[in-house]
Structure 1
Amino acid sequence: MSSTSSAAKVVLITGTSSGIGLAAAVAAAKAGWRTVATLRDPARADRLRKAAADAGVELDIRRLDVVDEASVAAAVDGVIADYGRLDAVVNNAGAGHLGTLENETVADVRQVMEVNFFGVLHVSKASLPHLRATGGRLITVTSVGGVIGQPFNEAYCAAKFAVEGYMESLAPVAATVGVGVHVIEPGAVATEFVNNVGLDIEDELAAAGPYAPALQAYLDRTVASFLNGAQSQEEVAGTVLEALTGDRPAFRLQTSDWARGFTGAKLTDLDGSAVLGMTGGWVG
């Protein structure tokens, strides 16, 4: 698959109201894809529409709430009804979360998993029959936090670890029916994602009890890393486009040298080829 041959190809992207999803939707449309840009609340689509207009591209903007199976089914069915095909899906929608086990409820953790893990599964399951029909690609934006667990991100990293494990396990199976499965691993990205965690830092520190010194140190380090080393959302979108259009993209794609170095502390097999070579043998 290449960008030059993708003019009639259709991609559905989740979580496009801002950040990586917005940039990826614009980049895909500029590359010639029919881009269905979805978001939970269509009332928040003004920035997306402006970005598309500024770039001189057209987007098909639709509602899709990843935690609502009926909404997912309606969106995917609508794409097939209108275009007759689906060539790629980019699972981008997600929600940040900061907390530690003693100071949050299990229900809080369950909600993080619902959005960041089960939301991905809802969209992927609804899309797979159509991706089989086109020999398409299933692409999921995870995080370096899906490889290395990070303090006060237990629930978020657990969800991203789950996504990475699920997709790494699914990839060799999907390959037997012609579907490529890929994950994108950004590090710090200059988007609204951190703001979307919805923290009141003073309140969080006041409620942290014995964990307050550690939380303060973590927040100081995190703020510094976002101020000094964050990638732009457009740079990350470039990696998403690589997964969409490259001839043989790797299973695991980091979005920067920093992300490669960080994940490399745990993964000597950076592109996943050794793991998939092994597990691919399990299914022929």
Structure 2
Amino acid sequence: MNIRLKPLNEQVIVVTGASSGIGLVTARMAARRGARLMLTARNEQALQQVIREINGQRSNGGVADFVAGDVADEAVVRRVRDQAIDRFGRIDTWINCAGISIYGRVVDVSLEDQRRLFETNFWGVVTGSRIAVEHLRKEGGALINIGSILSDRAIPLQGIYCASKHAVKAYTDALRMEVEHDRLPISVTLVKPGSVDTPYAQHAKNYLPNEPQNASPVYYAPEVVAETILHCADHPVRDVFVGGGAKVVSMLGNLAPRLMDKVMKYTMFTAQQRDQAEQDRLDHGLYGPATGLQERSGRAPYVAESSLYTQASLHPMMTGAVAAVAGAALISLCRRGIANGRSANGHGSGMRPVRNRTNEEFW
């Protein structure tokens, strides 16, 4: 099936989890590029402010509407679809971005909390994907699910989050194969970010004695993830890591799983906790809306504003062309150096080779 996706400035895009972090940055970026947006999250006040902001700056054609609610509620998700069609006439791209985490040993986290996390992270994605495919199968478009590097490699202290992202990966991969088998004009993409500077840890429920944090010496800006998502909205992509570190962790997890177990065991218990006691165990977004309109955490020690690896992954032909040109230039330089060396040692001038007294080799 030859899938053709519209340019962003001609698209109607649904974004879940649009009140903070990656979802908020993606919504704002898509609006600046002229997309029409239907946004959803639990924080109605934050959504209202985002809508006023987007609709008040319409120089690029971007316009937005919203439905406040929980993606764990199928009725809410269907209302998102219906309102997008009523307002804009169709949907071209559906982005499942809503998510939440829990920090704590899996045996300590209550079953109630574990089920609640799955309602958002997994069943919210499943519900959104089913409703999106129902609509997109007619005219085509893109379905983009946000996974994680933890879709590939589990870590301690976020076991239930890892389990939900493993489930999202398996569901997305199975759905993609079924869509392709039925020759539906839908691109199904899984985006797998590494550590991103968002209020992810602040919004998570915490069972640890200290304040939690995302574990990485280097974080990627949420704009890097948003750029990747929007690229996938108008270019069919199977899956993509955001950040070269995410790819490395995934590869090592597959090639040397036991070694990675040991690395994680000795590093992740301290790397995911700040040197600060837990502030308020009730201040989290597991059961209700967390603080909205936060794009970044403000806690990251270093934030990378771009990813060469991800750009290379998304533009393989351009990367190949650059590599070919660089390779040709390198070969040319090597040949020139060899020719100059031979000339300096008498080759090509009728002189005999000179023995190198240092290493007893002939040039």
TM-score by length of structure 2 reads 0.63
Q: For residues 111-150 of structure 1, what are the structure 2 equivalents within 5 Å?
A: 111-150=116-155
Residue equivalent to 1:20: 22
Deviation of 1:267 after TM superposition, in Å, equals 5.5
SS at match of 1:45: helix
The 8 Å contact of residues 195 and 215 in structure 2, kept in 1 or not, is answered as no
Q: For residues 50-199 of structure 1, what are the structure 2 equivalents within 5 Å?
A: 52=54, 57-175=62-180, 176-199=183-206
Change (3 A) 1:24 1:105: same
Residue equivalent to 1:275: none
Change (3 A) 1:167 1:106: same
Change (3 A) 1:47 1:178: same
Q: Deviations over 1:173-192 (max 9, x none)?
A: 11221211101111111111
Deviation of 1:62 after TM superposition, in Å, equals 2.6
Change (3 A) 1:238 1:51: farther
Change (3 A) 1:232 1:47: farther
Residue equivalent to 2:208: 204
Q: Tell me the distance in 1 between the aligned counterparts of 2:125 and 2:137.
A: 17
SS at match of 2:101: coil
Residue equivalent to 1:276: none
Q: Deviations over 1:128-155 (max 9, x none)?
A: 1111112111101111111100101111
Q: Deviations over 1:5-50 (max 9, x none)?
A: 3433211000011110011112222233212122122112266347
Please list every run of 5 or more consecutive structure 2 residues that lacks an aligned counterpart in the other structure.
256-309, 314-363
Residue equivalent to 1:240: 229
Change (3 A) 1:103 1:224: closer
Greater mean deviation of Cα atoms: 113-122 or 103-112: 103-112
Deviation of 1:196 after TM superposition, in Å, equals 0.2
Q: Deviations over 1:30-82 (max 9, x none)?
A: 23321212212211226634763579643223324201111111111111222
SS at match of 1:7: helix
Change (3 A) 1:184 1:94: same
Residue equivalent to 2:50: 48
The 8 Å contact of residues 5 and 142 in structure 2, kept in 1 or not, is answered as no
Deviation of 1:224 after TM superposition, in Å, equals 6.1
Q: How many residues align?
A: 249
Q: Deviations over 1:96-122 (max 9, x none)?
A: 111223212222211111110001111
The 8 Å contact of residues 26 and 223 in structure 2, kept in 1 or not, is answered as yes
Q: Deviations over 1:216-262 (max 9, x none)?
A: 7x96xx5662xx4111111110110111112x32x111111122222
Q: RMSD across aligned C-alpha pairs, in angstroms?
A: 2.5
The 8 Å contact of residues 95 and 115 in structure 1, kept in 2 or not, is answered as yes
Q: Tell me the distance in 2 between the aligned counterparts of 1:193 and 1:55.
A: 30
The 8 Å contact of residues 51 and 65 in structure 2, kept in 1 or not, is answered as no
Matched letter for residue 167 of structure 2: A
Q: Tell me the distance in 1 between the aligned counterparts of 2:253 and 2:58.
A: 39
The 8 Å contact of residues 18 and 47 in structure 1, kept in 2 or not, is answered as no
Residue equivalent to 1:8: 10
The 8 Å contact of residues 39 and 64 in structure 1, kept in 2 or not, is answered as yes
The 8 Å contact of residues 8 and 233 in structure 2, kept in 1 or not, is answered as no
User: Once superposed, which parts of structure 1, at least 4 consecutive aligned residues long, lie more than 6 Å away?
Assistant: none
The 8 Å contact of residues 195 and 214 in structure 2, kept in 1 or not, is answered as no
The 8 Å contact of residues 16 and 96 in structure 2, kept in 1 or not, is answered as yes
Matched letter for residue 254 of structure 1: F
Rg larger in structure = 2
Q: Tell me the distance in 1 between the aligned counterparts of 2:120 and 2:86.
A: 26
Percent pairwise identity: 28
Residue equivalent to 1:210: none
Matched letter for residue 169 of structure 1: A
Higher-helix-fraction structure: 1
Please list every run of 5 or more consecutive structure 1 residues that lacks an aligned counterpart in the other structure.
206-215, 272-284
The 8 Å contact of residues 22 and 225 in structure 2, kept in 1 or not, is answered as yes
